[in-house]
Amino acid sequence: MKKNTYISLPVIKRLPRYYRFLGVLRKNGIEKISSNELSRRMGLTASQIRQDLNCFGGFGQQGYGYNIEQLYNEIGKILGVDKNTPTILIGAGNLGRAIASHMSFSERGFDLIGVFDKNEALAGQMIKGIPIRHISGLYNFCKDNSPVVAVLCIPEDSAKEIVEQLVNLNVKGIWNFTHYNISADFPSLSVENVHLSDSLMTLSYQLNNKD
Ligand code: NAI
């Protein structure tokens, strides 16, 4: 089957979910799955699943279903989890520490190589074997290590200045936990915004509109 050259963002956004579900099935030793069964487990329609996976050339066989190992590996490749993208994290406060400590960066194609904060008292403390560095060392560190991605866990009012520095230091992507709208000022950057509060409010809407 021919691959589409353009893949819409909603499809891309569903891929990590496929990857996660398939990872669990794979761990449980299941070798194949029909689109009907995958749809039941994921709460998507079977035709949605077929459509999504066909965007990438389809990985299923008529009458057999999907080979889980193959599909898992192919989606992993599409998502780039086999990469090792050098990544830094800025802001080692409550959120930054939690992310640096609990996120499996390497399983998702990222290599966390540096953590920075402006609080001098934090300098030298270790998070998962990585020393927290003072933000004044950002320039030299980036010149030496060429990080491609930065995780931003600082207050919104410091974000623009830091992003400006990061762009000048050739950082290409931001995993943005601040509420600063990076894309408005830096349209060329790849940005993924994470707002836990949006998710919570979506739950609130669902609770209040059950019928
Ligand atoms: P925090 O106050 O515990 O940590 C912020 C850290 O950033 C501090 O260690 C501070 O020294 C450092 N910092 C401030 N300006 C800096 C700069 N210019 N360079 C380097 N380090 C700098 O705050 P917390 O709870 O960790 O939250 C951090 C940010 O994340 C806040 O903006 C908060 O609104 C946001 N947040 C976002 C969530 C989301 O779902 N997107 C969830 C929770 C918090």
Nearest protein Cα to ligand 1, atom 44 = 95
Cβ burial, residue 205 (10 Å; 0-12/13-18/19+): exposed
Q: What is the pLDDT of residue 1?
A: 44
Q: What is the pLDDT of residue 52?
A: 87
- Phi and psi (nearest 5°) for 125? -65, 150
The CA 91 to ligand 1 mean position distance, Å, reads 6
Cα of 33 to ligand 1 centre, how many Å?
43
Angle between helices 9-27 and 46-54 (to 10 degrees): 110
Task: Please give the structure tokens belonging to residue 53.
Answer: 């996976």
Mean pLDDT split into 10-residue runs, the chain, 211 residues: 66 91 95 90 88 74 81 91 96 98 95 98 97 98 98 98 98 98 97 96 94 73
Nearest to 132 by CA among 105, 106, 158, 93: 93
Residues with CB under 6 A from ligand 1: 90-96, 116-119, 135, 153-156, 158, 162, 177-178, 194-197
C-alpha span between 102 and 171 (Å, rounded): 23
